[in-house]
């Protein structure tokens, strides 16, 4: 039965075969967790010097960037433009940050990088507004990421060490949010009880717990089925 009470005739519906795509968000959160923790260590003074800064740059370029880019592409293929846009934004941030750290002097700031990071924070804030309240885990990661980018960008513009410390702490909070999200999202697909709630509601909850008729309600208007916009 559909939402209006009519019966679902499966034989009269167009059949659309899609390749199954596992959630790429957990992979992206793993990349953010690693890179954000390493960058926080640099900002908080746990590590320092030319060699350590270069290592953090390599983590951003060779670790976080490709994983985030892969996750963004898979998100778009899974028809998740919110995740795809957010993860693509994170990918560009890690690429530019990594290249800047690789070529910069330890402790030096860069006004252009600061401006870029603040623009990135604004983009994440816009995504947060667009996402609504149906995906709390992803929304929390986006919100923490926006704060993290904003504070890091502000430090690059002002060279204020208290702001740098705040950015480092925000990076650790972002890493913690990612760690929670990894467990919550992956446990949804495991054949056992969920370890942590993922905070889904509305259509986001229906996508993982709804019945067949609920999955069909707006199928005709989804990308790949509807006409080109």
pLDDT averaged per 10 residues, the chain (length 229):
52 59 87 96 94 96 96 89 92 96 92 97 90 76 95 96 96 96 79 54 50 57 57
138 touches 121 (CB < 8 A): no
pLDDT given for residue 130 in this prediction = 76
Number of domains in the chain: 1
pLDDT given for residue 80 in this prediction = 85
pLDDT given for residue 219 in this prediction = 58
C-alpha 211, offset from chain centre: 28
Q: Is residue 156 part of a domain?
A: yes
Q: Is residue 214 part of a domain?
A: no
DSSP letters for 103-140? HSPTT---HHHHHHHHHHHHHHHHHHHHHTTSBHHHHH
**CATH code for position 131:** 1.25.40
Q: Is residue 12 part of a domain?
A: no
Using the CB atoms, write b or e for 54-81: b if 16+ within 10 Å: bbbbebbbebbbebbbbbbebbbebebe
Show the domain range for 99: 25-201
Q: Is residue 164 part of a domain?
A: yes
pLDDT given for residue 107 in this prediction = 87
Q: Is residue 87 part of a domain?
A: yes
Q: Is residue 134 part of a domain?
A: yes
Q: Is residue 6 part of a domain?
A: no
Q: What's this model's pTM, rounded to 2 decimal places? A: 0.78
């Amino acid at each position: 039965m559909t939402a209006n009470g009519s019966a679902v005739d499966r034989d009269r519906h167009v059949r659309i075969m899609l390749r199954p795509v596992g959630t790429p968000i957990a992979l992206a959160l793993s990349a953010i967790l690693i890179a954000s923790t390493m960058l926080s260590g640099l900002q908080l003074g746990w590590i320092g010097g030319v060699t350590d800064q270069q290592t953090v740059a390599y983590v951003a370029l060779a670790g976080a960037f490709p994983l985030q880019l892969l996750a963004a592409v898979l998100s778009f293929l899974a028809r998740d433009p919110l995740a795809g846009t957010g993860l693509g934004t994170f990918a560009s941030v890690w690429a530019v940050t990594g290249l800047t750290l690789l070529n910069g002097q330890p402790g030096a700031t860069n006004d252009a990088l600061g401006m870029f990071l603040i623009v990135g924070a604004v983009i994440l804030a816009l995504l947060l507004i667009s996402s609504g309240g149906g995906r709390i885990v992803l929304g929390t990661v986006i919100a923490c990421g926006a704060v993290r980018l904003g504070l890091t960008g502000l430090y690059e513009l002002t060279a204020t060490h208290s702001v740098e410390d705040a950015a480092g702490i925000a990076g650790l909070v972002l890493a913690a949010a990612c760690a929670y999200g990894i467990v919550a999202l992956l446990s949804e697909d495991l054949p056992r009880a969920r370890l942590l709630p993922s905070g889904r509601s509305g259509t986001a909850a229906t996508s993982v717990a709804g019945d067949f008729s609920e999955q069909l309600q707006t199928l005709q208007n989804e990308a790949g089925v509807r006409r080109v916009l």
